[in-house]
Amino acid sequence: MSVIKTENLVKTYTQGEYEIKAVDKVSLEIEKGEFTVVCGPSGSGKTTLLNIIGGLDDPTSGSVVINDKEITSLSGNQLIDFRLRNIGFVFQAYNLIPVLTAKENVGFVMLLQGKSEAERNERTEELLKAVGLEKEMKKKPTQMSGGQQQRVAVARALASKPQFILADEPTANLDSASTENLLDIMAKMNEEEGITFIFSTHDQRVIDRAKRVITFQDGKIFSDVSA
C-alpha cells in the first residue's frame, strides 16, 4: 500500500539566464513501513525531493499524494496542519529550540496539537527513554553533545506519532558510534511501530542499513534497488 506517491515532479530554479532542474520528472511510490534512502552526490536533488514531499517546498509542476491526499493543492494553513499530524522531520542542523529543555523540545509538537499536559509528559518521557536520554531531560541543547541533540530531534519527530519521518542528512555531524546508535533507534521504531522512514544522505553507513536505495543523479532517479 503506497503512502506516498509523486508524479512527474519537477522543481526548477533560475540562475541568471539559466534554468536548473533540481528535480526532473520524478515519479515514485513509497509503501507503508519502508526504510528507504535517497542518495546521490551534493546537488543531485535528493534534499529538494524530500522538502517537496514534506510540504516544505513547492514543486514547479507535478504532484505529491500522501494517503490519497494531494498535498500540492492544499492551502498554507491546511498544509501546516497536515504536516503537524502526519510528518516528522529530522534535520542535519537539529533545529532544536535553544531556550527549551530536551523534554520541552520533544513535547512542543504535541503542545501545538493540543494534547493534554499529562499525555505530553507520558509520551515525552517514553521517547527520551527510548533514545537513551532519560537523564538528560532537563538539559538545553547547548548542554548536550551533537549525538544527544540529534537523538532529541528524533524523539521530537516521533512525538506526534507521525505516519512517516523524513530525515535529511541526519548523521552528517555525528561520529560512528552516535550514527550506529541513532540508526538502531530508527530501525527499531520502523520495525516495532511501522513508521515509514525516508532518508536523504550520502553517508554509506546509512545506505548500508536501508531496505531500499534510490540513487539520484542530475535531478532524476538513476537507480532504485530493494535490499
What's the rounded Cα separation, in Å, for the pair 157 and 106?
8
- Going by C-alpha positions, the residue among 64, 87, 68 that lies closest to residue 165 is 87
Segment 154-189, tens digit of pLDDT: 888 888 888 889 999 888 877 888 888 888 888 988
Domain count of the fold of the chain: 1
- Beta strand segments in the chain, E: 2-15, 18-31, 35-39, 61-66, 69-70, 87-91, 164-168, 196-201, 212-217, 220-226
- Please give the grid coordinates belonging to residue 130: 527510548
pLDDT of residue 177: 84
Long-range CB contacts (within 8 A, 24+) of 92-96: 92/168, 92/169, 92/170, 92/172, 92/173, 94/141, 94/146, 94/149, 94/150, 94/152, 94/153, 95/153, 96/141, 96/149, 96/152, 96/153, 96/156
Angle of CA points 178, 137, 35, to nearest 5°: 40
- Domain holding 81, by residue range, is 2-226
Regions of the chain short of the pLDDT cut 50: none
Say which residue the cell 509523486 belongs to.
6
Segment 37-50, tens digit of pLDDT: 999 888 888 999 99
For the domain that residue 101 is a member of, what is the CATH number? 3.40.50.300
Angle of CA points 197, 200, 201, to nearest 5°: 120
pTM for the full predicted model: 0.87
